[in-house]
Structure 1
Amino acid sequence: MAILQSCTKEEYYVQDDGYDSDTISEVWEYTNVDFTSTNNYTVILGFPQATYTSDMVLVYRLAAYDGGGVGDIWKPLPETYFFPDGTLDFGYSNDFSQYDTQIVLSGYDLPTLNDSYKYDQIFRVVVIPGYFGNKMTASVDFSDYNAVIEYYHIDDSNVTKIPLK
């Protein structure tokens, strides 16, 4: 007597539209940031949690508060200021890891630089998940903070604020 057994194989197909519904962009705001000779005009801003190596990290400095309803002015780093003759006066630059970003104020004569550029600075760090940053960069101007916020549907009314003092 021969016994034949049949197996049923069920296949499930998952449609991957490329959208990761549990990965979100984040914004962290660092207040009371001071650049002094004591810290060699360098500040390290620690992240509340580690980012992925594939994430895009953008850093913006608050250059002007809301004036006349136009909104705050956020300038992207690196940010450079020049003397009228075209030589470097001063500027902000940054680098980052998964855990922090380091911001450096460098320039010609930093001790005499106007205090408004050295003390009580406010920075925003925008973290964009790697998928979004790598796949959709063509149609957003990363130098425009508001365009980035709008493009990635970030609610910046509830930014995580991290005071340094």
Structure 2
Amino acid sequence: MKKILPLILLAFVGLFVMSCNNDDNVVGDGDTISLMQDATGTFNSGNGFLLSKGISIQSTDVVLVYRKEGNLWQQIPKTYYLDDVNGLPTNRELDYNFKFNTSDVNIETKANFNQGTQMTPAETAQYLTNQTFRIVLVPANAAGSKAKKAKADVDYSDYNAVVKYYNLDDSHVPITRVN
């Protein structure tokens, strides 16, 4: 019995050692995973030039929003300076911005002119119709105790840097139609 007891103890300890996982290279705060989702919609006077998408995050988490321009993603907020066109106000500025809480992301356009009547059809198609936004949900304390270092390591305006840093798979992002 004295020879079997150390073997049983060794097997018992070995079981616990093998079941532990010390995966220190995973970015995250342990209670939130980074997620991406696309929202596509049209801004118009009927929706107050506002698109709303439901989300579910912790109160300490962060939302990043990017607007699709061709095959690229542009971080918002972003201001566009529209060309002067005869018959329309000069120095027109169109702003994309967003606000979020734990349950919603609201993406809006604001302008120093009437968006419903003072845009050309081409401008409306380019800036208001069927716009796609990529919403990236990330933990606020993504690097754990290295939070200050993480801010320096990630350029949040660079979509590809964010995807790489958070190890996100952007090949199968769900798309939701909003309005």
Work out whether the TM-score is over 0.5. Answer: yes
Higher helix share: 2
- 3-state SS in 1 of match to 2:66: strand
**Residue 148, structure 1, aligned to residue 158, structure 2:** no
**How far apart are 1:30 and its partner, in Å?**
1.0
Alpha-carbon deviation of 1:43? Answer: 1.5
Please state how far the C-alpha of 1:87 moved relative to its aligned partner.
4.7
Paired residue secondary structure (1:148): helix
Asked whether the equivalents of residues 42 and 103 of structure 1 are also in contact (C-alpha less than 8 Å), the reply is yes
Distance of 1:51 and 1:19 partners within structure 2: 13
Question: Aligned equivalents of 1:123 and 1:137: distance in 2?
Answer: 23
Distance 1:20 1:80 in 2: 33
Name the counterpart of 2:68: 62
Decide whether aligned partners of structure 1 residues 133 and 53 sit closer, same or farther in structure 2, where only a CA change above 3 A counts. farther
SS of 2:69's equivalent in the other structure is: strand
Number of residue pairs aligned between Structure 1 and Structure 2? 142
TM-score (norm 2): 0.69
Cα pair 1:35 1:118 within 8 Å, conserved:
yes
Match of 2:45, SS state, is: coil
**Shift of residue 109, structure 1, vs aligned partner:** 3.2
Matches within 5 A, 1:1-165: 20=29, 23-31=32-40, 33-47=41-55, 50-64=56-70, 72-83=71-82, 87=91, 89-107=93-111, 108-111=113-116, 112-113=118-119, 114-115=123-124, 116-132=126-142, 135=147, 136-164=150-178
CA spacing shift, 1:36–1:153, aligned 2, 3 Å:
same
Contact 1:29 / 1:160 at 8 angstroms: preserved in 2?
A: yes
Compute the TM-score of the two structures, normalised by the length of structure 1: 0.75
Give the distance between the partners of 1:133 and 1:124, measured in 2 at CA: 22
Cα root mean square deviation, aligned: 2.8
Structure 1 residues 127 and 90, CA gap change in structure 2 (3 angstroms):
same
Secondary structure of the residue aligned to 2:47 is: coil
Change beyond 3 A, Cα 1:158–1:21: farther
Percent identity, aligned pairs only, is 34
